[in-house]
């Protein structure tokens, strides 16, 4: 009893919040420790010594004679037996009460120990839960700082949520130290592309611009592009190799290297350096057909993938002039109820996109029609309308306004086959439903290509 009392006193002293709850238990122990059988006997009303009066016989009612000695002795023996019986009963009750009290005390102490242990572990758990629940999934871009090593960088990326823990991204990750970064190849509005080498093979390494590499929105958009590229597999789409990073600022998309450069650079070279004749010859139609093959693949996926930024700069060529689509930075699966964001490069943009109206994969078809005109003339779209009759240069905004209302259409050279002209004009119809599908455009080009071989 004294040991149990001492344990409870120690628990109360180390846990003030439980002290009040322990007072009752302490009192119970003190009472049990002072309890003894004699006190129980003296205090119990049921154990008072009875007084026995012998029942008188009939003859003794009228007699004053004292009872016989044998009767008195018998009464005293009976009294002694009763007292012994009562004492044994009280002793059993007292022992049972003490045992029960000890059991109760042990149970109480056990419960208190469990409570104390939970209180000791609860604050740590609560703090951890609070940290996890208050970690934002959308962190302001200004909070991002360059991280020096892969472990800390990866931990921060995972904590920020988003796509860092996406299984596609994780499976596509390659060691950054295996990639040799070379010369800068090109720079765009949001990213730049470097020549690189990975496992002895030339690759293109795309990164965000230094000014955008710490912005969470641009990082997540870049990751979305990488994930989309990882899911695409077609001969007319630039092959995805992997993704690498050591820090947020050097997130890199690794893709196959296209030795022929981009179509815009090639057309400019043909026009200004080689003075190649305009028109849609066999090589140009072949390039156009490769583009429609890529669009046919994208538009056949479930859900449909809309490139949304089809232009000559995003068509890459290998050394044999095989064309492949690239730059899926603003591509989107057509899962939205409406797609109204004005995205893409203005001169190749469909009127419905310019006007902020709902659009679908037919916006890519319009852009292809503009690209077909560009292949023909070797000049930027609508170059024929850039200069007015009085020699003034129209700004792009004025050109786009005329395109959006149908007053300006694409232009084809006089030597181009009528079937190809008709295809280009059909692709750039104002009404999207009047434009052909990608497979229809591909079939027309295949037919034209066969005729050009003859």
- How does DSSP classify residue 260? T
Pair 219, 226: CB distance under 8 Å:
no
Sign of the CA dihedral with 447 first, then 449, 450, and 454 last: positive
Does 309 qualify as catalytic in the annotation? yes
Which helix or strand (DSSP H or E) is residue 159 part of? helix 150-159
* Given 309, 327, 364, 376, the catalytic residue: 309
Structure tokens at 425: 């004009």
Query: Cα–Cα distance between 5 and 10 in angstroms, integer?
Result: 9
3-state helix, strand, coil split of the chain in percent (to 5) is 55, 10, 35
Cβ neighbours for 151, distance < 8 A, ≥ 6 positions apart: none
65, 317, 348, 391, 394 from 386: Cα distances, Å: 154, 28, 15, 9, 5
Query: Cα–Cα distance between 4 and 434 in angstroms, integer?
Result: 92
Cα distance from N-terminal residue to C-terminal residue, the chain: 112
**Residues with active-site annotation:** 309
């Amino acid at each position: 009893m004294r040991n149990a009392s001492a344990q409870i006193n120690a628990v109360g002293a180390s846990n003030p919040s439980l002290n009040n709850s322990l007072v009752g238990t302490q009192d119970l122990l003190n009472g049990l420790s002072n309890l003894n059988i004699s006190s129980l006997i003296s205090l119990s009303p049921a154990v008072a010594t009875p007084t026995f009066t012998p029942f008188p016989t009939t003859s003794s009612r009228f007699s004053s004679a004292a009872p016989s000695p044998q009767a008195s002795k018998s009464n005293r023996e009976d009294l002694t037996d009763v007292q012994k019986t009562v004492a044994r009963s009280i002793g059993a009750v007292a022992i049972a009460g003490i045992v029960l009290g000890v059991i109760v005390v042990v149970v109480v102490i056990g419960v208190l120990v469990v409570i104390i242990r939970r209180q000791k572990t609860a604050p740590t758990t609560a703090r951890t839960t609070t940290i996890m629940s208050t970690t934002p999934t959308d962190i302001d871009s200004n909070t991002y700082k360059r991280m020096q090593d892969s472990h800390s960088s990866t931990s921060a990326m995972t904590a920020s949520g988003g796509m860092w823990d996406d299984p596609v991204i994780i499976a596509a990750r390659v060691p950054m130290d295996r990639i040799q970064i070379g010369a800068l190849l090109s720079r765009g509005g949001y990213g730049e592309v470097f020549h690189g080498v990975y496992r002895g093979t030339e690759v293109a390494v795309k990164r965000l611009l230094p000014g955008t590499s710490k912005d969470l929105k641009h990082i997540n958009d870049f990751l979305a592009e990488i994930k989309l590229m990882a899911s695409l597999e077609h001969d007319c789409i630039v092959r995805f190799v992997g993704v690498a990073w050591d820090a947020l600022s050097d997130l890199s998309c690794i893709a196959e290297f296209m030795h022929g450069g981009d179509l815009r650079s090639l057309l400019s070279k043909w026009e200004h350096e080689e003075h190649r004749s305009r028109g849609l010859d066999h090589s140009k139609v072949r390039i156009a057909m490769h583009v429609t093959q890529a669009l046919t693949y994208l538009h056949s996926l479930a859900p449909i993938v809309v490139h949304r930024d089809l232009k000559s700069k995003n068509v890459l060529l290998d050394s044999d002039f095989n064309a492949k689509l690239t730059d899926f930075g603003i591509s989107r699966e057509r899962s939205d109820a409406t797609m109204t964001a004005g995205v893409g490069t203005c001169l190749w943009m469909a009127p419905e996109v310019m006007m902020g109206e709902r659009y679908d994969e037919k916006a890519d078809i319009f852009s292809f029609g503009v690209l077909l005109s560009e292949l023909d003339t070797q000049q930027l779209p609508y170059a024929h309308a850039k200069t007015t009759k009085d020699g003034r240069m129209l700004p792009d905004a004025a050109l786009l306004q005329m395109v959006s209302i149908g007053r300006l259409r694409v232009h084809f050279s006089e030597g181009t086959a009528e079937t190809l002209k008709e295809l280009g004009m059909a692709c750039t119809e104002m009404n999207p439903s009047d434009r052909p599908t990608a497979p229809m455009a591909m079939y027309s080009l295949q037919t034209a290509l066969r005729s050009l071989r003859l």
